[in-house]
Structure 1
Amino acid sequence: MADRSGPGSVSWRGIAVLLLGQVLAAAVYTSEARQLRFVTLVYRHGDRSPVRSYPKDPHQESAWPQGFGQLTQIGMKQHWDLGQTLRDRYKGFLNETYDRHEIYVRSTDVDRTLMSAEANLAGLYPPEGIQVFLPNLTWQPIPVHTVPDSEERLLKFPILPCPKYMELQEKTRHSPEYVNKTKDNMDFLQMVANKTGLSDCSLESVWTISDILFCEAKHNLSLPSWATPEVLARLTELKDFSFRFLFGIIEQEKKARLQGGVLVAQILKNITAAAHNANSSLKLIAYSSHDTTLGALQMALDVYNGKQSPYASCHMFELYEENPGKISQLFCIESNTKIFEFPATLSARTNVTGKPRRTSLQSLAENRRKKMCPEELQGPAGPRGTTMEQEIVIGLIACGCILFLLIILLLTILFRQKSQTIGYQHVSDMGEEHS
């Protein structure tokens, strides 16, 4: 059919083009309206050997190839898988190949967390093209930063020594929940102490027995006859209670100021910097840490589900740009090689994706500010180090002091020279050429 459009009329073809343009514009706006800007990851190390044994344990340190507390091959594979999952999730956001300007990784100074970070990076950035330095080796060295264990005030919890925190823990021990939990499990704890050969077994130390038996069962080592399914389940329950004891039960908000709030403050600081610096090339910061790190973090965020975080689980913060120049969405997501979103995993670790937990950057800052006192952001055991602004001020003061001393020294020398008596001086009668 011929196009019968004329002056003052609109053709169907024109309408179609107009609608198509609007659809494309809407699609472009949608893609631009919610753009990923920055990511922070906090993950637990992978599967490991137990950190210690008990006196009557038939499986002592020699039963583990690398000894106590070391990452196993299973743990390496878990983090390689997580790295692959992150690679798929952030395809198009991160560069396909490793770019040192885009990513920064920090770990506690512990073998299993350092190795987990390296295994994770192996999955995230398999070398391609010019990054291949040895044929048939799908790995490349990527830096993992750390600080000495004695100086760690960001990723290892609880942060000790801390008098304020110790006072809160003593107060927790006298809380009704803790006292009743002790009474209800007194006989059970005594039984565990007798069977293991421990001189003392309390609500705060029994987690080690649960951990040892869990590791041994996972690696097909025989368990003692007293470690029945019922006993193992009860030990797991008490282990989870010990995590709550560290960061909650009572005075959770005050504990957050001294513990997990320190990490929340740093994460918020990083996110805020990314939100206000569109020219920054840094896209992802990853922290390789422990179950207590995730526990402290989630307690401070009020999203703790009462369970120990599994191996290679990852708490993810994703900062999105909703509109040009405005950052308004923050995602908190937990994963265990598969991506799960809050709040689904708070109640069950099943393959169900729930509605993302979102909050504005401003809202998060305001809510967390109540849990983070300025002096406590430096760490409860003393200053964690100076900020860049503090370093500049200190440098200027030092330079000023040095300059002041140099001026005093110069004035002293000049004053002494001026005060000296001028005696007889021989004046040469030869010209400059000869003198």
Structure 2
Amino acid sequence: MAAPLALLLGISLALAPPLAQARSLRFVTLLYRHGDRSPVRAYPRDPYQESTWPQGFGQLTQIFIRSTDYDRTLMSAEANLAGLYPPQGQQVFNPNVSWQPIPVHTVPDSGERLLKFPLSPCPRYEQLQNETRQSAEYINKTRQNLEFLEMVANQTGIRDVSLESVWNVYDTLFCEQTHKLLLPPWVTPDVMTRLKQLKDFGFEFLFGIHQQMEKARLQGGVLLAQIRKNMTSAANASAPQHLKLLAYSAHDTTLVALQMALNVYNGRQAPYASCHIFELYQDDDSNFSVEMFFHNESGREPFPLTLPGCDQRCPLLDFMRLTDPIIPQDWARECQVASNVQDTELIVALAVCGSILFLLIILLLTVIFRIQSQPPGYRHVSNEGEEQP
């Protein structure tokens, strides 16, 4: 009895459906802001000019991947990689150095078209910004803060302080305050709070308020298109998959542009070292899903982010469908304003017509020249002088 029972059990197991595979993490994309830095610049009457900062303006403090071509983002990338990947085994080239070299890829700042926002040149985006300046929200915000902005201009020595430029003042004061420098008497806690609120409004001006979806196609949608491409490649079973993690070391404006495009922005500036996380999972049914998180507070787990219209665990196909409207199909063409497109088409048409006319003139001149070059008096007449039947 034992043998037939064993045989029956074996057949049953062979015919049973295979056990479902556990859900597995397949690919991760990180977009993070650089770490603590000195101010980008000082205002004219600032008591702390560049000589105050040993490392100069816009540099990281204390700590000496695709990254923008700035020292602070490159150094942040290197520091993060040093913490993530200490050498092990054959990777140890010096027992006294717990570090291994890992390449950080970048492009010159003038050619950056992925991580530095707002992207330019883009005439249509500039047109949208001009329209935003005419919106009721922008006009009312300017009117409500006009006296305050004038006070800031007088105290700083900046000729013109607007809703778009006030972030520079806040950023400089914030850096000085963070590094325990004594702020001028006019910089009260209430002033800092108000400057912060206007700075946050400045981010919304860049990527929202008016025609947010079209702004997204011209700005954050460009980076999102690359992130989607990377995830799709990672989910393609037929493609060789080597990368498990892709990190972008960038800026607060990069994070805001992306999160405004995804419509998950919380309305506040991304703090130093904050990180937007995309996790691609292969589910137990072999389909793929995407989860997003935002780490913006030390000592706490990352906050889950939910793409509008989907669950926090969003099927990859739904993620792609919901983000399709904010992905530019031809960024250069979409960046042109309507009149420029028409003008370009007219110029092309005129150029074609002009080329055809030029060729016709050349042909006509060639014929005339050949006629004039024949000997005088020569004339070819068919059958001349022959008797007619």
TM range (shorter): 0.7 to 0.9
Q: Which residue in the other structure is 2:36 paired with?
A: 47
8 Å contact from structure 1 (residues 341, 357) kept in 2: no
Quote the Cα distance in structure 1 between the aligned partners of 2:329 and 2:54.
45
Alpha-carbon deviations, 1:223-275, whole Å to 9, x = none?
00000000000000000000000000111000000000001111001001111
Answer whether contact 1:114 1:288 (CA < 8 A) is retained: yes
State the secondary structure of the residue aligned to 1:304. coil
Structure 1 residue 378: Cα displacement:
8.7
**CA distance in structure 1 between the aligned counterparts of 2:172 and 2:189, rounded to whole angstroms:** 15
- Indicate if the aligned counterparts of 2:328 and 2:334 stay in contact, CA closer than 8 A: no
Q: Say yes or no: does 1:306 pair with 2:261.
A: no
**Contact residue 160 and residue 380 of structure 1 kept, 8 A:** no
Distance apart, 1:33 and its partner CA: 3.0
Checking the alignment, whether the CA contact within 8 Å between 2:222 and 2:328 is kept in structure 1 is no
1:2-401 alignment runs, 5 A limit: 29=20, 32-73=21-62, 76=63, 105-277=65-237, 279-323=240-284, 325-327=286-288, 329-336=289-296, 337=298, 338-343=300-305, 357-376=312-331, 380=335
Q: CA deviation at 1:150?
A: 1.0
Distance 2:94 2:332 in 1: 45
Number of corresponding residues:
318
| Cα distance in structure 2, aligned partners of 1:132 and 1:211 | 41
**C-alpha distance in structure 2 between counterparts of 1:132 and 1:343, whole Å:** 38
Specify the SS of the correspondent of 1:307: coil
Offset of residue 371 of structure 1: 1.5
Q: TM-score, normalised by structure 1?
A: 0.69
Alignment partners' CA distance in 2, 1:37 and 1:197: 53
Secondary structure class of the residue paired with 2:282: strand
TM-score using structure 2 length: 0.77
Change (3 A) 1:378 1:363: farther
Deviation for aligned residue 1:341 = 2.3
Contact 1:165 1:255 in 2 (8 A): yes
SS of residue in 1 equivalent to 2:313: strand
How far residue 65 of structure 1 moved from its aligned partner, in angstroms, is 1.1
Kept after mapping to 2: 8 A contact 1:153/1:379: no
The CA deviation string for residues 211-230 of structure 1, in whole angstroms up to 9 with x for no partner, is 00100000011100000000
SS in 2 for 1:112: helix
Match of 1:409 in 2: none
Contact 1:262 1:379 in 2 (8 A): no
Per the alignment, in what secondary structure is the counterpart of residue 116 of structure 2? coil
Instruction: List gaps (5 residues or longer) in structure 1.
Output: 1-5, 8-20, 78-104, 345-355, 382-435
Counterpart residue type for residue 181 of structure 2: L
Contact 2:304 2:312 in 1 (8 A): yes
Distance 1:201 1:65 in 2: 28
Give distance in 2, aligned partners of 1:379 and 1:67: 39
For 1:377 and 1:262, the matched residues in 2 are separated by 11
Q: CA deviation at 1:369?
A: 1.3
Partners of 1:318 and 1:332 within 8 A in 2: yes
In structure 2, do the counterparts of structure 1 residues 380 and 108 end up closer, same or farther at CA, with 3 Å as the change threshold? farther
What is the CA distance between 1:189 and its match in structure 2? 0.1
> Gapped runs of 5+ residues in structure 2?
3-12, 337-389
Distance 1:137 1:219 in 2: 30
Tell whether the 8 Å contact from 1:265 to 1:377 is kept in structure 2 after alignment: no
**Moved runs in structure 1, 4+ residues, more than 4 A?**
377-381
